[in-house]
Amino acid sequence: MRDKSVKNWSEGKAFLVAICASGTALAVMFGVATVVRNGQSAISIPAFATSAQAAMKPPELTVDATQGRHLFLMNCAHCHGDDARGDEGPDLHDLHRSDARIHEVITAGIKGEMPSFGKKLGDPDVQHLIAYLRTLHG
Amino acid sequence: MNSLFWERAHGGLTHLPIALIFAAGFFDALAFFCRRSSKLREFKAMGYWLVIIGGLGSFGAVFSGLVLSKGVIGGTGAVLRHHYFVWPAFTLIVGLATWRFLVGRDPSRRAFNLYLATMLIGCSLMGAAGFFGGEMLLGH
C-alpha cells in the first residue's frame, strides 16, 4: 500500500537529481583529494618534525631530495610510513643497497610484497626518490 | 594530526555507514518480502532513514580515507584495489540515498524493486571496498 503523503518528488525526476547529486559528491571528493594532495607537503613537514623518532631537526634537503620526498609521500608513505620508519613495508633508513638495486626495486617491485612503480614513475622521479632515501639516516 | 589518528578515524567513520547501509538493504529486503502492510511500512521507514544517515555518513568515511591516503584517488597495490570499489560504491550510495530522500518512504513497487536491486549492487561494492580496506591492515 502506497503512502502518498510522504511522496515528495516524481520518481523519474528524483532519479535525475540523484544522478546529479552522486556526480557532484564524487567531484567534491576529488576536489578535496586535490586540496589534500596540494596541502600535503605543507602539513607533512610539521608532522615529520614532531614524530617521536624524528625529534631532531630534519636535515636540509637538496632540490632533488625535496622532490624525492614529495614523491615518497605520494607513492610510498602508505606502506613505509610518513617518516619512512616502516609500517606495512620496511624501514628505509640507512639502506645498504646500491642506487641501481634501489632503482630496480622501485621500478620492478618485489613479487608478492611491493608493487611496481615502473609505469608510474619515470627515471628522473626514481632518481629523486633515491636522492631522498640517501638522506635518511639514524 | 598524524597518520595514526586518521587511520583510527577512518576505521570508525567507515564502519558506521557500512553498517547503516547494510541494515537499510536488509530492512528494504524485508519490506520486499513482507505481505503485511503495517510491517511493510515500518520496514520501509527503517530502510529510508538508514540509507539517508548512511549516505551522509559516507562523506565522513571518504574524507577521512582521502586524508589518510594523502589525497590519492587511485594509488597502487592494495590501495588501488580498495579504491576500485570505493568510488563506485560511494557514488552509488549517495545516488540511492538522494533518490530515496526525494521520493519518500514509499515509492511505487516497480521503482522500489529497481532501487533494491541497485542497493544490492551498492552493498556488494561497499563490501568489496571494505574487504580490501581490511586487507591493507590485516592481510600481511
Architecture of domain B3-138: Up-down Bundle (1.20)
Q: Do B91 and A26 touch (CB under 8 A)?
A: yes
- A 109-138: CB under 8 A from B: 114-115, 117, 120
pLDDT exceeds 80 at position B27: yes
- Would you list the DSSP string of A5-53? GG--S-HHHHHHHHHHHHHHHHHHHHHHHHHHHHHHHHHHHHHHHHSGG
Task: Give domain limits for chain B.
Answer: 3-138
Is the torsion defined by CA of B26, B30, B31, B37 positive or negative?
A: negative
Domain A51-138: homologous superfamily in CATH: Cytochrome c-like domain (1.10.760.10)
Look at residues A25, A36, A28, A74 and name the one whose alpha carbon lies nearest to residue B89.
A25
Residue A41: its pLDDT value, please?
53
Question: In a mutagenesis test of the A interface, which of B43, B51, B99 is the best target, namely the one with the most A β-carbons within 10 Å?
Answer: B99
CA terminus-to-terminus distance, chain B: 26
Task: Give domain limits for chain A.
Answer: 1-43, 51-138
Overall average pLDDT of the A79-96 stretch: 83
Cα B34 to Cα B36: distance, rounded to the nearest angstrom: 6
**ipTM of the complex in this document:** 0.85
- Give the closest-approach CA distance of B66 to chain A in angstroms: 6
A17-67 pLDDT, tens per residue?
Answer: 999 999 999 999 999 998 988 876 555 544 444 444 444 445 677 888 888
Which cell goes with A2? 502506497
Q: Do A7 and B103 touch (CB under 8 A)?
A: yes
Q: Do A77 and B90 touch (CB under 8 A)?
A: no
Which cell goes with A96? 645498504
Percent of chain A, pLDDT > 90?
A: 20
Residues of A in contact with B62 (CB under 8 A): 29
- Give the closest-approach CA distance of B72 to chain A in angstroms: 7
For residue A52, the chain B residue with the least C-alpha distance is B2
